[in-house]
Amino acid sequence: AQTVTQSQPEMSVQEAETVTLSCTYDTSESDYYLFWYKQPPSRQMILVIRQEAYKQQNATENRFSVNFQKAAKSFSLKISDSQLGDAAMYFCAKNSGGSNYKLTFGKGTLLTVNP
């Protein structure tokens, strides 16, 4: 079974500072996709950023960027210029590149942003 591991149950950051959330995964595939989802207190799951494993370039979406290390099976999320609205639970997730569309999630990291 695929596993996705988020080793930081909780993290905190000062407003306007940068924070990095860690994620590692287990896979024998060469083609797959990785995602970070944000879940604020409203509990809505919001897609933050995605990365295709065959692309070496790290994905970036405004203040959100990833550090994708394929050999190390690592996929960390960097949030720059943190804002109070970034406070949420963040989930790392992975699915397969083939016909298996199941998305496997990590246990999540609760991010607190301090003013």
Partner 1 sequence: DAGVIQSPRHEVTEMGQEVTLRCKPISGHDYLFWYRQTMMRGLELLIYFNNNVPIDDSGMPEDRFSAKMPNASFSTLKIQPSEPRDSAVYFCASSLMGRPNYGYTFGSGTRLTVV
Tokens 């690592």, located at residue: 74
Under rule CB under 8 A, residue 9 binds partner 1: no
Under rule CB under 8 A, residue 97 binds partner 1: yes
Residue 99 in tokens: 């016909």
Closest to 51 (Cα-Cα) out of 65, 30, 71: 65
Residue 31 in tokens: 């083609």
Binding track, positions 19-48, relative to partner 1; x by CB under 8 A: --------------x-x-x----xxxx-x-
Binding track, positions 62-91, relative to partner 1; x by CB under 8 A: -----------------------------x
Tokens 């940068």, located at residue: 18
Residues 62-93 as b/e (b if ≥16 CB within 10 A, e otherwise) read eebbbbbebeebebbbbbeebeeebbbbbbbb
Q: Which of 50, 70, 73, 78 binds partner 1 (CB under 8 A)?
A: 50
Q: Nearest distance from residue 64's CB to partner 1, in Å?
A: 14
Residues that bind partner 1 (CB under 8 A): 33, 35, 37, 42-45, 47, 50, 52, 91, 93, 95-97, 101-108
